[in-house]
Structure 1
Amino acid sequence: MSLDARTHESPVVTGVEDLVAWFRARERPREGWKVGLEHEKLMLRAGTLDPVPYEGPDGVGAVLRGFTRFGYEPFEEEGRIIASQNDGLTISIEPGGQLELSGRPFADVHVVAAELDRHIEKCAALARDLGVEFLAVGYRPWGTPATTPWMPKNRYKIMRPFLSARGRLAPDMMAMTASAQASFDFSGEKDLAEKLRVALAIQPAVTALYANSPIVQGREIGWKSYRTAVWEETDPARSGLLPFAFEPGFQAEPYRRYVEWALDVPMIFLRRAGAYRETGGRTFRRFLAEGLEGERATLSDWEDHLTTVFPEVRVKGVVEVRAADACSPAMAKALLAFWKGVLYDRQARAAAWESVEAFTIAERRAFMRTAGREALAGRAPDGRSIQEIARGLLDVAAGGLCRQRCCGERGEDERVWLAPLVERATSGRSPADEALEVFRAGPRALAEALRCA
């Protein structure tokens, strides 16, 4: 989520060291670590298979404005509402009208879970009043990017043609996909290096557990997570695996290695005076060295740039894990608990890494493709079933949560939130398996099954 709300002048970047220092300034001590959730949903006109346009008394804009009844303030761009905000919570829109909750970070999953429940209740009330439905699914099952209403957000006017020229399925990514993302803090370079590497390494298991996009244009597509296939054809310069995280020496200087990678990613836009300028596809490295039409690179430009790179695990001020298809609220809570168990416990990180450390870069990419196609029924490059790997990782996560001793008001620890994932890893059935069964009973049956509000 990015609202592009710039309210002050930003320091000029004098060199690469400034960018490395930008990451160092975002370190947080262990006792201050929190977890954050972004939960996306697709919208349909109630009782149909039709997307919801932005305009109109019951359009996407009206949905966003409807949150004002709950105390939210509208965030507008050229007189058009593009988000609603309330005390650190943001409800925003993605290019195809996907509604995203960017929640506040909290110290434990219990509080985030309660906040998500309150959000879903508000969505349900607005859905009843405005005649829409919210679907938890990784790819819109009906329609195409050409038939989907695109949202009138200024950055999308540049992103759409820019990315479309660099990936066959980039329009699908923008207009048709939805995900659940979780964010985590880091305390220093070694801590970040461990978290980034292990998160990248075990993403295929998460993709398999959360595979939830098997229907495309109203038919079975042959992928359990077609969203995975979409990302494979969306500007490879800014998405996918980060091979440098598995190279010798990475753990000694992860900030610099991430900076050096991002410097060579083409910039999508440059913002000045509230307007978006095209960059001609120049990299941030070139912009830093040469400027652009008299403009010099600032730290705000760097922050903008970091929001337009989309690796499987992204580093901004936090470590953001991005491999899960959009999912039910229960699965979203499980996502937070799983990653908290692994990433916030060093013993768990080591055990998770050990389970997949032997793979080459080529094998890791193949592992992700298999997870997207076959989900838990697939096999890893070494012949183990993905289901077996997922079961082991859930045990690792549970152990990590247990050692963190974070309990809720009723005394239960955070392992309670893992239950939906344990059930899937035991049965070998991803959400896509259930979606396929329901879809064979009819399109509306699938819409009802995917409905979360």
Structure 2
Amino acid sequence: MSAPPKSRGEPVTAKSQLIEWIAEGNKPKSDWRIGTEHEKFVYDLKSLRRVSYDAPNGIGALLKGLTRYGWEAIDENGKTIALAQNGESITLEPGGQFELSGAPLRTIHETCREVGEHLKQVKEVSQELGIGVLGMGFDPKWSRADISWMPKGRYKIMGDYMPKVGKLGLDMMLRTCTVQVNLDFSTEADMVKKFRTSLALQPIATALFADSPFLEGKPSGFLSYRSHIWTDTDPDRCGILPFVFEEGMSFERYVDYMLDVPMYFVYRDGKYIDASGQSFRDFLKGKLPALPGEIPTTGDWADHMTTAFPEVRLKRFLEMRGADGGPWERLCALPALWVGLLYDQTALDAAWDLVKDWTIAEHEQLRRDVPRLALNTPFRGGTVRDVALEVLKIARAGLQKRGAADLGGMDESGFLNPLQIIADTGKTSAELKLDLYHGKWGGSVDPVFKEFAY
């Protein structure tokens, strides 16, 4: 989630401006980039508790420590809540989940170097503070009540609103971590094909990346509890978006969807104004109760676009949102998977051919069952594992055809190897952790903080 915006943009007087705002994301293939984001939990090494913002070894101290590497502090109400440098940013999720939003890069090789440098910096500062950093999809040990909120105005508004519309929204805010990748499109038609293909395949990514089997120290019954949480967060802004697969899908159709997503807030003069549940359509007419007589700016629209949470989200690029957070190697595997599938036309055509006849009922079944069963989910006479193996084959061919080599001459397809092992063995990280829990960990999740820390 973003830091406070610096510019509010131009006044919006017509829906056509909102459509054009998204369409300005169209880029020639030569300008396509890869933007990777990943979140992780920060905890005290002695108590294993998640750290607060203000603790001597808390999130504020970690942000301050990172400024030694040239990061510029971004403040809100006198507290540093984000860092920025060279197209990258470090931001905070509501419970202090620490997120790197990477720069737009050309290759997965560059992405992996960026990830490695970030984790090196975080680890150096963390060791001085006596804190650790863990990559998983859901906090394995602590309850909502054990977790402190970060000092960001938008989170207070969202936190007050979430319980009104779903049972698990606060868990989403406080106890989940993800890795996602942001990818470009060339035209509206290209966006539609990529949106449909990636939305259909998000459950496959969820299965491959499943790494959240615990809830407050015990097995939850899910392999991706993080993914399950999104099914009861807010029905107005989450889900599989059936309209994406319908005739007539377009930039305008997505704008219509976003206009019907209830608002959270409006940002004015350094403050977040509560507009929760209000209508952006009313805002366009100057009839927003939170700001009577005012019309929105393109900055308000950009903010609003960040408040829908489907498995794939459209802004001026497409965000792949289905994966649990995890270890270093899978932070590079996630962009490799989607770049392989979406950035080579032959691969995109093959991936679309794989999913184009899936029904809405099948999409819904996958969305419902994969968080619990992951690769073992039954599907069309086989399992999701069968689909995952085919998807990885297509992605690998796409990366090989891209031919983006490192200094040693290796292409990007090697970044898929951690996922290939999972698909070949049929054993997700969640299942491996459950085996440890029932075996050598002796029914405790505490060892995860040591054995799987960055």
Short-chain TM bin: over 0.9
- Tell me how far apart the structure 2 counterparts of residues 143 and 406 of structure 1 sit (CA, whole Å): 42
Map of 2:453 onto structure 1: 451
- Tell me how far apart the structure 1 counterparts of residues 154 and 374 of structure 2 sit (CA, whole Å): 34
Map of 2:323 onto structure 1: 324
State which drifts further: 200-209 or 144-153: 144-153
State which drifts further: 190-199 or 49-58: 49-58
Is it true that 1:6 corresponds to 2:2 in the alignment?
no
- The 4+ residue runs of structure 1 with deviation greater than 3 A are none
- Tell me how far apart the structure 1 counterparts of residues 339 and 9 of structure 2 sit (CA, whole Å): 33
- The percent identity for this pair of structures is 39
Map of 2:240 onto structure 1: 241
Asked if 1 retains the 8 angstrom alpha-carbon contact of 2:76 and 2:270, the reply is: no
Map of 2:437 onto structure 1: 439
Q: When the two structures are superposed, what TM-score results if normalisation uses the length of structure 1?
A: 0.96
Shift of 1:92: 1.3
Asked if 2 retains the 8 angstrom alpha-carbon contact of 1:438 and 1:449, the reply is: no
Counterparts of 1:48-447 in structure 2, within 5 Å, are 48-250=47-249, 254-292=250-288, 293-380=292-379, 382-440=380-438, 441=441, 442-447=444-449
Shift of 1:371: 1.3
Counterparts of 1:36-55 in structure 2, within 5 Å, are 36-55=35-54
Asked if 1 retains the 8 angstrom alpha-carbon contact of 2:5 and 2:299, the reply is: no
- Tell me how far apart the structure 2 counterparts of residues 75 and 315 of structure 1 sit (CA, whole Å): 26
| Aligned length in residues | 447
Counterpart residue identity of residue 351, structure 1? A
Shift of 1:275: 1.5
Shift of 1:308: 0.9
- Tell me how far apart the structure 2 counterparts of residues 265 and 289 of structure 1 sit (CA, whole Å): 16
- Helix, strand or coil for the counterpart of 1:146? helix
Asked if 2 retains the 8 angstrom alpha-carbon contact of 1:37 and 1:103, the reply is: yes
Asked if 2 retains the 8 angstrom alpha-carbon contact of 1:340 and 1:401, the reply is: yes
- Tell me how far apart the structure 2 counterparts of residues 195 and 84 of structure 1 sit (CA, whole Å): 31
Asked if 2 retains the 8 angstrom alpha-carbon contact of 1:64 and 1:92, the reply is: no
- Helix, strand or coil for the counterpart of 1:55? coil
Asked if 2 retains the 8 angstrom alpha-carbon contact of 1:110 and 1:408, the reply is: yes
Counterpart residue identity of residue 319, structure 1? L
- Tell me how far apart the structure 1 counterparts of residues 264 and 375 of structure 2 sit (CA, whole Å): 36
- Tell me how far apart the structure 2 counterparts of residues 290 and 346 of structure 1 sit (CA, whole Å): 44
Counterpart residue identity of residue 387, structure 1? R
Task: Write the deviation string for residues 79-126 of structure 1: whole angstroms up to 9, x where unpaired.
Answer: 111012222221111000100001111111001101100111111111
- Helix, strand or coil for the counterpart of 1:389? helix
Shift of 1:356: 2.4
Counterpart residue identity of residue 381, structure 2? G
- Helix, strand or coil for the counterpart of 2:140? coil
C-alpha RMSD of the superposition: 1.2
Task: Write the deviation string for residues 211-233 of structure 1: whole angstroms up to 9, x where unpaired.
Answer: 01000011101000001111001
- Helix, strand or coil for the counterpart of 2:197? helix
Asked if 2 retains the 8 angstrom alpha-carbon contact of 1:38 and 1:182, the reply is: yes
Asked if 2 retains the 8 angstrom alpha-carbon contact of 1:207 and 1:368, the reply is: no
- Tell me how far apart the structure 2 counterparts of residues 422 and 83 of structure 1 sit (CA, whole Å): 35
Shift of 1:291: 3.0
Shift of 1:444: 2.1
- Tell me how far apart the structure 1 counterparts of residues 74 and 199 of structure 2 sit (CA, whole Å): 34
- Tell me how far apart the structure 2 counterparts of residues 158 and 88 of structure 1 sit (CA, whole Å): 28
- Tell me how far apart the structure 2 counterparts of residues 95 and 52 of structure 1 sit (CA, whole Å): 12
- Tell me how far apart the structure 2 counterparts of residues 106 and 217 of structure 1 sit (CA, whole Å): 37
Return closer, same or farther for 1:203/1:230 CA change in 2, 3 Å cut-off: same
Shift of 1:359: 2.3
Shift of 1:449: 2.7
- Helix, strand or coil for the counterpart of 1:53? coil
Shift of 1:237: 0.6
- Helix, strand or coil for the counterpart of 2:99? strand
- Tell me how far apart the structure 2 counterparts of residues 214 and 47 of structure 1 sit (CA, whole Å): 23
Counterpart residue identity of residue 159, structure 2? R
Shift of 1:192: 0.3
Asked if 2 retains the 8 angstrom alpha-carbon contact of 1:268 and 1:278, the reply is: yes
Counterpart residue identity of residue 265, structure 2? F
Shift of 1:353: 2.0
- Helix, strand or coil for the counterpart of 1:297? coil
User: Which structure 2 residue ranges, 5 or more long, are not aligned?
Assistant: none
Shift of 1:239: 1.0
Shift of 1:436: 1.1
- Helix, strand or coil for the counterpart of 1:239? coil
Shift of 1:26: 1.6
Shift of 1:280: 4.7
Task: Write the deviation string for residues 269-297 of structure 1: whole angstroms up to 9, x where unpaired.
Answer: 01112221122512212221343212111
Asked if 2 retains the 8 angstrom alpha-carbon contact of 1:35 and 1:182, the reply is: yes
Counterpart residue identity of residue 264, structure 2? I
Counterpart residue identity of residue 123, structure 2? A
